[in-house]
Amino acid sequence: MARDNLAIVVKGYPRLSETFIAQEILGIQQAGIPYRIVSLRHPTDKKRHPINDRITGAVDYLPEYVYQEPMRVLRGWLKARKMPGYRRAVNIWWQDYRRDRTANRARRFAQAMVMAAELPDDVTRIYAHFLHTPASVARYCAIMRGLPWSCSAHAKDIYTSQDWDMREKLRDMDWLVTCTSANVDYLRTLAEDPDKVNLLYHGLDFSRFPEDLPARPLRDGTDADNPVRILSVGRLVGKKGYDDLLRALAKLPANLHWRFIHIGGGNGEKYKKLATELGIADRCDWQGARDQKEVIAACQSSDLFVLASRIEKDGDRDGLPNVLMEAQLCGLAAVSTAISAIPELIEDGVNGKLVPERDPDALAVALKALITDPRLRETMGRKGNEIVRRDFSFYRGMKDLAERFGVNFQSDEQAETPAEQPAAE
């Protein structure tokens, strides 16, 4: 099997919330697989993770909107229209557009033409992260260029896409990997060949975390000067359930002493306003976006991790949030919701507590139980660390992925230099 030369299509690069993708790209680089990154959007985050500084592959930014670079799109069309697969790509795009008459669908075809025209001749495979728009661009471009293509699917891209769109992409691609068993089961119902769909956990590079668990103080919520530190890491978007979490925190007994620390980007004004209305604003610390050294430091100094994930009306949801794995690797007991693939990591009563989504009352009960019992938190945190180290190694998945790209990947994760920490989703 010949080694592939990859064009990796992503929605935006780099992104603070998608360092699991950066971790994989770095693994591809370490495996000696030639690659370049093709991004549909320019970066918008003010910070970047240190792991991105180690990624040395070229990055090609496609026109985000046709009106911004009309001559580049025109040049792309003039070259792409001469390609053997162009007519078939146009026919497929037109079928797609008739069912999805949006500017987004038209923009993706324009980006695909530019990508097809500008991609170096030595690229042998296109590999897309996310089954929605990046996979659309990858598919149209692959057809024009006559290249094989593959995909890595995650969460929102699966559950907010139309079945017909995913079904036809699965028909055209060589294979797909996805990061949860729940995703695998669902996508296999859509695939003509279910064997195309495979499980590949993101996993963590353990060498980037402190090997020893911290000795945490046995805080139990009785000391106002030494409150229990409750940490959550995630973007301030609906599917993360931060309004549910704030309502749960407000239901805790008034004489129970805790402090809530949030790390993550997004518009926090409505959540700060809600915290004020609930009377808990003075107990909340909104730290905004942080790099991974800061995230890991926060995990090391906190007592409990919480993520109130939920399924939105449009189907958007978390898959298996990397932040939960990271918190568990740092020895934090976790409180979360029993949706998507979270139960693939958190076993209720073993390494954390699971509650129904959108249930602040149940969430408050679970939080109170762990706030007041530091010994139970310690036991659950240690068990979580064991589970992550046993089942969620990045290198296990990277070996499988590298083999799909024609490389026998050998790496001793313990030999890696502890440089940067992998990302929170």
pLDDT digit string (tens) for 339-374?
999 999 999 999 999 999 999 999 999 999 999 999
Query: What stretches of 154-276 adopt beta strand conformation (E)?
Result: 176-178, 197-199, 228-233, 258-263
Q: What pLDDT score was predicted for residue 171?
A: 98
Q: What pLDDT score was predicted for residue 220?
A: 98
pLDDT range class, residue 417, cuts 50, 70, 90 = very low
pLDDT tens column, 147-178: 999 999 999 999 999 999 999 999 999 999 99
The token pair that represents 34 in the structure block: 């030639």
**DSSP codes, 329-373:** HTT--EEEES-TTGGGTPPBTTTEEEE-TT-HHHHHHHHHHHHT-
Contacts of 281 by beta carbon, 8 Å cutoff, 6+ apart: 272, 275
Residues 337, 355 contacting (CB under 8 angstroms): yes
Q: What pLDDT score was predicted for residue 202?
A: 86
DSSP-assigned beta bridge partners for residue 89? none
The H-or-E segment that residue 88 falls in is helix 86-99
For residue 9, is pLDDT > 50?
yes
Tally of residues, the chain: 425
Report the percentage of the chain scoring pLDDT > 70: 96
Q: What is the mean pLDDT of residues 263-283?
A: 96
Contacts of 282 by beta carbon, 8 Å cutoff, 6+ apart: none
Report the percentage of the chain scoring pLDDT > 90: 88
Query: What stretches of 14-57 adopt beta strand conformation (E)?
Result: 35-41
Provide the mean pLDDT of the chain: 93
For residue 44, is pLDDT > 50?
yes
pLDDT tens column, 94-150: 999 999 999 999 999 999 999 999 999 999 999 999 999 999 999 999 999 999 999
Q: What is the DSSP letter of 208?
A: G
Neighbours of 277 (CB within 10 A): 11
Q: What is the mean pLDDT of residues 374-396?
A: 96
409 dihedral zone (left: phi>0; alpha: psi -120 to 50; beta): beta
Buried/exposed 304-316: b ≥16 CB within 10 Å, e otherwise: bbbbbbbbeeeeb
Residue 43 preceded by cis peptide, ω within 30: no
Q: What pLDDT score was predicted for residue 411?
A: 60
Q: What pLDDT score was predicted for residue 248?
A: 98
Q: What pLDDT score was predicted for residue 1?
A: 62
For residue 207, is pLDDT > 90?
no
The token pair that represents 161 in the structure block: 């896409």
Return the SS3 of 127.
Answer: strand
Q: What pLDDT score was predicted for residue 415?
A: 36
For residue 421, is pLDDT > 50?
no
Q: What pLDDT score was predicted for residue 420?
A: 37
Helices 70-80 and 103-118 cross at an angle (nearest 10°) of 70
Return the SS3 of 13.
Answer: coil
User: Cα separation of 259 and 275, whole Å?
Assistant: 12
